[in-house]
A and B are shown apart, each in its own frame.
Chain A
Amino acid sequence: MAPDTATQIKMYRQMALIREFELAAMDLFKRGQIKGAVHPSIGQEASAVGVCMALDHDDLIVGTHRSHGHNLAKGASPERMMAEILGKDTGYCKGRGGSMHIAAFDTGSLGALGVVGAGNPLAVGAALAFQMRGERRVAVPFTGDAGTNTGSWHESLNMASVWNLPVVFVLEDNKYGVSTHIRDSTNIDDLSIRAQSYGIPGVLVNGFDVLAVYEAATEAVARARAGKGPTLLVAEAYRFEGHYAGEPEVYRERSEVAEHRKHDPLTHFRRVLVDTGVASSEELDDVDSAAKDEISAAIEFAKASPDPDPSTAMDYIYA
């Protein structure tokens, strides 16, 4: 059953906000205003929003190097997100995390990590704490397809299964680990079958379809919350942009990208909303332009914010 109208509109709004945020971040990076790296999640908005909308505020997520969307979907402020990736003192990590370690901690994000697969044990530990204290909370680590070849990912699925922990392992299959296609690094077609070796459910959904992701995530979260253990949720999608903003994508044909862009999750969801009478095209145009305005305001806020004071460099190393 589809969620109510307000929820669906909110989903669309969140997806539009992520899209605008990513486009703005890429633009700022290419103009040299963001230093370091930016890994855009364009094409994967549906899995971030579909999963995070199925969570409560007290549930925790653990991100990856590509986690602008996860944080925004969990309720992060675009202003403080933008300030963070511009390295400003008003950012969520006071300019200490940047794009790759961004974490809106007050919304239930335990952080984003640049080491692929490494966030999964963290979620397992948090879930074990929930279980020990009898809290009905759920931990959700996001991982890309390439991360499922790391030891940490497998160790985590195994531990969560053995200890029957409230974890929903979300695998965003965007087909590429930097330049290497998943079919060149993994000898199975359906990544959800990896769950079988840990005796837990593995669910494969269309990661371009936010309602499908939301439905599967809601079920997995309910299962975890009821003490029935972890689930592997595979959202199959595609990375529309390069591994990082500005990457020369020598490893794939433009036609391949164009083919997948036909399944753009935002365009798809807009069509669904209009077709099912949830919203009119004009209403969704308004949502789009509101998202644009919000991101413009976030950039203004970030640019006007002060840099971190170097004299505070030692303030956060020890208690």
Chain B
Amino acid sequence: MGPQREVKMFFRVALLVLRKDFAIEAKSREILTTTLLFAVSCVLVFAFALVKEGEAPPDAAPAILWIAIMFSGTLALGRTFERERYGETLRALLLAPAPRPALYVGKLLGIVLLLGVAELVLVPLVAFFFGAPFFVQPVLMALLLVAGTVGFAAVGTLFAAMLMRVRTRDVLLPILLYPITVPVIIAGVRGTAALLASPPDEVTATMWLAIVVAFDVVFVTLSLWTFEVLMTE
């Protein structure tokens, strides 16, 4: 196969995996519904824990937003791969004569899209509850969210996939995922907080964005390489 055809094949497989996940989800809407409700519950729990005399402490909004994204992301990762495990469908995919890294990219895109939809609800919700001006710098804010979600999902997809065979996967996923994605949460929260400051501090936000983008590049590359090794028995 020529390199061009190989690249074409790679993206076709990735998009097929994404379409498969999308088709299942469009029918049942199970993961989207549960993830969204879970994210909203997270926001409420943090609101009750932090709000004093009707006022949230300064900087609470970005923290709550990113924690809600990470927690509901963990849940979504677990549920997506539970579905694959239950139907033994990932095994079937791995048996198919398709490039393995393409399967990873397909799953990753699915998680990122799902979390993107969740964020479309979460960001206005947090803005609404805490009066956070998320939309003053919409482009930088969106870039920060996308980069942060990709970084979190890149590590999360790999770990959730490799934990599929493990009995204690539910609890091991956050144990492994959170310490490794700490840079994403620090950068996400600090970057968002910089954008919420008045006047917005674009320089700081851009610096954090650059760190997250570098994180994404390193970890997507590493995951593409290790996925092949890890999913081979």
Task: Decide if A and B are genuine partners.
Answer: no
